[in-house]
Amino acid sequence: MTFQVTVQPSGQQFSCEADETVLAAAIRAGVGLPYGCKNGACGSCKGKVVSGSVQHKAHQERALTPDEAAAGYSLFCCATTGADLVIEARVVAGSSDYPIKKMPSRVTTIEKVAPDVVVLTLQLPAAERLNYRAGQYIEFMLRDGKRRSYSMANAPQDGGPVTLHIRHLPGGLFTDQVFSTLKERDILRFEGPMGTFFLRDDSDKPVVLLASGTGFAPLKAIVEHMIHTQSARPVTLYWGGRRPQDLYMDALCRQWALELPQFSYVPVISNAQEEDRWQGRTGFVHQAVMADLPDLSGHQVYACGAPVMVEAARHDFVQQCQLPEDEFYADAFTTEADLAK
């Protein structure tokens, strides 16, 4: 059976099959509902069910609390319906401008930039081009129908190979392969672009970019996009890691800070050891933002990295720093371990 979904306040409508999630149906129809992980862990797709009812597949309670569910909120990436729906959600302008497509890619380089991080470069077919917005991601299609998501780490304007930053998770289905058997010239299939994590170009507000670990990847693409478009918006990048080696492109960020008059860079280390001889900021990276910018009411924040960091930043920036909730954009990097918790 097919049901009708109406989105308020935009008035857009799309059809949803009985066995299809609301988000999957919206993506298929080209309606730009916000989303990130697509597996019930990040909360980016949260919206309200105004009329009708939904059933939820398994999801993380931190992404949708029992109180929120009781108040009519839903995670549309996990929600299916057996009736027509009216939902309340922001429609993200531009998120469906580029078609999602499947394509093969050839591994051209695998560069180890930290003990547990590689930069993977993929060459696309000669007749193909992947159009995307800086900050979006692709999904590798693995055996048995499993998928793994990685953000593009380069801006789309260069038109060349796609680069990804991949951190090794021991026991990980895909990352074990990347760090052991994957070699140059191997073929990997993916689908993309996906996600609604990208710079809102219609704003002139100062930008805070907040990353932990390889959450730096899509933020790097956003900075490169802003350089390409000659954006005059002030940008401050806060990048956090446990040890200095986790900031695997620290030199590039420092170069940006020297060359770009509107760009500032604040590296933050949470677990420096004596041998690191770290002289910079320490502690949790989102708390460094709060110390420097206690009033975020006039800013936009783009946060990417571990779910615990993203959620702490979302809560504290809104509750303590007056950040408007709809000016916090996030992409939480959820792992299989996160989903199993």
The CATH number covering residue 175 comes to 2.40.30.10
Last residue of a domain, one of 166, 194, 222: 194
Residue of 56, 16, 28 whose CA lies nearest to 40: 56
- Tell me the average pLDDT across 208-230: 97
Q: Which residues form the domain of 291?
A: 207-340
Q: Are residues 272 and 184 in the same domain?
A: no
User: What is the pLDDT at residue 273?
Assistant: 94
88 token code pair: 């309340």
Instruction: Please answer whether residues 109 and 121 qualify as being in contact, where contact means their C-beta atoms are separated by less than 8 angstroms.
Output: yes
Q: Are residues 249 and 149 in the same domain?
A: no
Q: Transcribe 149-181 into DSSP letters.
A: EEEB-S-GGG-S-EEEEEE--TT-TTHHHHTTT
Question: What pLDDT does 334 receive?
Answer: 72
Sequence-ordered list of residues with C-beta below 8 angstroms from that of 181, at least 6 positions apart, any chain? none
Query: How far, in Å, CA of 15 to CA of 7, rounded?
Result: 11
User: In this predicted structure, what is the pLDDT of residue 337?
Assistant: 54
Query: At 81, which CATH number?
Result: 3.10.20.30
Q: Are residues 247 and 282 in the same domain?
A: yes
The residue among 298, 135, 129 whose CA lies nearest residue 204 is 298
Position 34 scores a pLDDT of 87
232, 261 in Cβ contact below 8 A?
Answer: no
Which residue is it, tokens 């499993």? Answer: 146
Specify the pairing of strand 300-305 against strand 328-332: parallel
Q: Do 128 and 73 belong to one domain? A: no
Residue 266 forms part of a structural domain? yes
Q: Is the pLDDT of residue 243 over 80?
A: yes
pLDDT tier for residue 232 given thresholds of 50, 70 and 90: very high
Query: Looking at the chain, how many residues does it have?
Result: 341
**Nearest residue to 31 (alpha-carbon basis) of 104, 76, 95:** 95
Q: What's the pLDDT score for residue 323?
A: 98
Percent of the chain exceeding pLDDT 70 equals 97
Q: Give the count of domains, the chain.
A: 3
Half-sphere exposure of 195 (CA within 13 A, CB side): 30
Distance between start and end Cα atoms, the chain: 34
Edge-to-edge order in the sheet of strand 46-51: 13-17, 2-8, 85-88, 46-51, 73-75
